[in-house]
Amino acid sequence: MAESNHIPKDVREAVDGVRPGADIRLLAFSDLTPDGSFGEQFLALADDRLLVFSCDGESPALVKDVPFSEVSKVDIETLVGGAALRAVVGGRREDLISFSHAMSDAFGRVRIQLDALIEGKPLPEVEERAKRCATCGLFLGEYTRVCPRCLRKGATLRRLLTLTKPYTVRMVLIGILMVGGVVAGLVPPYLTAILVDDVLSPRANYSLVIWLVFGLAAASLAHTGMEIWRNRIAAWLGARISFDIRGQLYERLQWLSMRYYDHHPTGTIISRLTQDANGVQDLLAFALPVMLVNVVTIFGVSVVLLVINWKLALIAMVPLPILFVILRKLWRLLRRAFHNWWYRWRRFHGLVSDALGRVKVTKAFSQQQSEIGRYFYRNDDLRAAGVLADQTAGTFFPVMWLIIGSGSLLVWYFGSMLQMHEAISIGRIIAFLAYLHMVQFPLEFLGHSTQWITRALTAAERVFEVLDAESDSESSRGDIELEEIRGEVEYRNVGFGYEKHQQVLKDISFKVKPGQMLGLVGKSGVGKSTIINLLCRFYDADEGEIFIDGVPLRDVSLWSYRGKLGVVLQEPFMFSGTVAENIAYAKPEATPEEIMAAAKIANAHDFIISKPDGYDEQVGERGSRLSGGEKQRICIARGILHDPAILILDEATASVDLETEEQIQEAIGRLIKGRTTFAIAHRLSTLRHAHKLVVLDEGRIVESGTHEELTAKTGTYAKLLDIHRRTSMVEVTDG
């Protein structure tokens, strides 16, 4: 709904010029003109008219005026270089407004809102995925909501510190050792001053030598011992915190729904478990303690310097304002250089990851030289960024040292003046310079720790983003325990879209009785696998309801439900391990006899015992040591051993030869007996004996019935069957 106070004045005036006083129910702006060039148009639903205006001139000009009551359908047509929102008006298709691909999501939301109004439903509120930070406008990564510029460092740090609560004793001990180490480190310069003034001077007190040397040694040993003790505790604590974080992340990832994984690539998730978890570990176990040590050191040294001679202390601080002004400019260059380097490093990492994942394809098409060229281009890009970053850092830190060191020069000069007037001793000047030198490293560390800590806190925020992620299905797991499932399944007016504004299924309704087999038929992309995904409750339906034995699926406990599902996919899932372990994956407590019995039913026993190690044969990564048909039969054996109430077959024979398919079909025939079965098949002939077929087109059910009933018609199923027969004849001829 377009709110009146958010409607621009020129839009209001343009609409009033056509429909005076009309209620603007929907408003959307595009970035292309009617001729396809970059410009601006806007679409407004004003009362019962769809109005499109071009903004090329001094004032908006009307381009389209369509009666909304005559619009029966709205969709988006992808074009070269852009897309268009199209409507079916009075039976004819008509382009309403063009836009670039960058605005596809926005107009996808417009489409679903218009669809709802066409069907007489209230105007829905659709969620917009933010591309920029709502606070500062900074562009965010595609898979993150964390803005490094607006990162709430304090809140994130406080939450991070809660992770250390189980280890409070060790944290307190680290704090005590940290303060003790700083105090021990402040002792040697003070003793050195006494040594110079009272031992090495003309009024030498040689009886103090042994005590001073002993004090220096004791202070050094105490400082070193406490540093070693603190570092060892910090190392243990860091590893333990990293262990805890990875455990929490992995546990949370297991419970997140498939919708989360649709929007987060595998590499991003792995980086959360590795790089981001390690970043949090480094921050809590090392960066924060070291930063606190440096802050305490600077504070302690400052106090000592003021006690030794407050005039010299103020003189030593003269370069600090100059340091702040100069380094602020240099720091921007350094931050930009390292950000550029990190960005190129991520691109380089992505290139290598993709290249290694497609080695077989690269070799098959003899593209090694092309891959090498692409690699060297990115590698050289990374080298140049690294050189720039290192050269900038190589300029930044020497300048920093020079300015900090200028304080020592001032101390030498004014200290000498004071010593000549016997206002300060030589020993105190030397101690003063030693203390001044002690703050150089802490100042340097604090100078470049801001970026480091910001990156670590950003990593922590990304970790929390996963831990706090809303799960679509697992967040409401239901509490109805189904001890047994008869297998009655009903879809009642189900609608769903992987993106809220792009529906894949529309008004799907059918019912399957216990023990029946339902075949899902249609071209690729019409929603067959989506129906299966909803049945597995990988996603929740946006509209309508799914019932299992008369109980809404949303209210059923996932533990009790999914344990009674069996799935055999087109791409068989295998993990590194033995054949027996793969068969028993869904029933780890299965006995060898049960595993073997399941393999026999699945027509897998004969090829398994022909292997050198039989059921103890290693299948390799993703089953690389087995053929496609062998892997599929092992997956069927897994399903048989699981003994599910509802069986799902998703293109289970699509990627095997005819002879292997015959063996698999025979095994499937045994598997489906007495079970409610949902089947998607590449070869329609395999669905001939299904109790019911549901034919889908553009996300809707266009036909349903038995094979004989649908064949007798001249509808979609008959056409698909005819295409399949002709394709099969070509395969046989080629064979």
Diameter of the chain measured on Cα atoms:
121
In the structure, what pLDDT confidence band is assigned to residue 734 with cuts at 50, 70 and 90? very low
For residues 55 and 32, give the distance between their C-alpha atoms in angstroms, rounded to a whole number.
10
Average pLDDT for 614-635 = 81
For residues 444 and 494, give the distance between their C-alpha atoms in angstroms, rounded to a whole number.
62
User: Comparing 400 with 644, which gets the higher pLDDT?
Assistant: 644
pLDDT of res. 299: 84
pLDDT of res. 346: 65
Task: Write down the mean pLDDT value for the chain.
Answer: 78
For residue 4, pLDDT over 50 is answered with no
pLDDT of res. 683: 65
Average pLDDT for 596-603 = 83
Q: Which pTM was predicted?
A: 0.63
Residue with tokens 């089947």: 679
User: Cα separations (Å) of 32 from 10, 38, 82, 105, 115?
Assistant: 18, 5, 9, 15, 23
CB 71 within 8 A of CB 64: no
The two tokens of residue 715 are 């509808």
CB 715 within 8 A of CB 703: yes
Mean pLDDT is lowest, of 163-177, 630-644, 701-715, for 630-644
User: Cα separations (Å) of 514 from 674, 697, 703?
Assistant: 8, 26, 22
Q: What percentage of the chain exceeds 70 in pLDDT?
A: 81
Domains of the chain in sequence order: 4-118 (2.30.29.30), 154-467 (1.20.1560.10), 485-564+678-735 (3.40.50.300)
For residues 331 and 339, give the distance between their C-alpha atoms in angstroms, rounded to a whole number.
12
pLDDT of res. 204: 61
| Contacts of 688 by beta carbon, 8 Å cutoff, 6+ apart | 707
Count of CB atoms situated within 10 Å of the CB of 417: 11
- Spatial CA neighbour of 601 closest among 684, 553, 506, 672: 672
List pLDDT tens digits, range 488-530.
999 999 988 877 667 788 889 999 998 888 988 888 778 888 8
List pLDDT tens digits, range 66-118.
898 888 888 887 776 678 888 888 888 888 888 887 677 778 888 888 888 88
Long-range pairs for 285-292: beta carbons < 8 A, 24 or more residues apart: 285/234, 285/235, 285/237, 285/238, 285/239, 285/241, 286/234, 286/238, 287/449, 287/452, 287/453, 287/456, 289/174, 289/178, 289/230, 289/234, 290/445, 291/445, 291/446, 291/449, 291/453, 292/175, 292/178
Q: Which range, 68-72, 446-450, 587-591, is most confident? A: 68-72
For residues 352 and 374, give the distance between their C-alpha atoms in angstroms, rounded to a whole number.
10
| Contacts of 543 by beta carbon, 8 Å cutoff, 6+ apart | 493, 494, 495, 496, 507
Mean pLDDT is lowest, of 4-13, 496-505, 663-672, 691-700, for 663-672
CB 701 within 8 A of CB 526: no
- Spatial CA neighbour of 33 closest among 6, 61, 7: 61
Count of CB atoms situated within 10 Å of the CB of 458: 19
pLDDT of res. 492: 92
Strands (E), 80-169: 82-89, 92-99
- C-alpha 467 chain-centroid distance: 12
List pLDDT tens digits, range 297-348.
888 888 888 888 787 778 877 777 777 777 677 767 776 776 677 667 767 7
For residue 694, pLDDT over 50 is answered with yes
Average pLDDT for 11-34 = 86
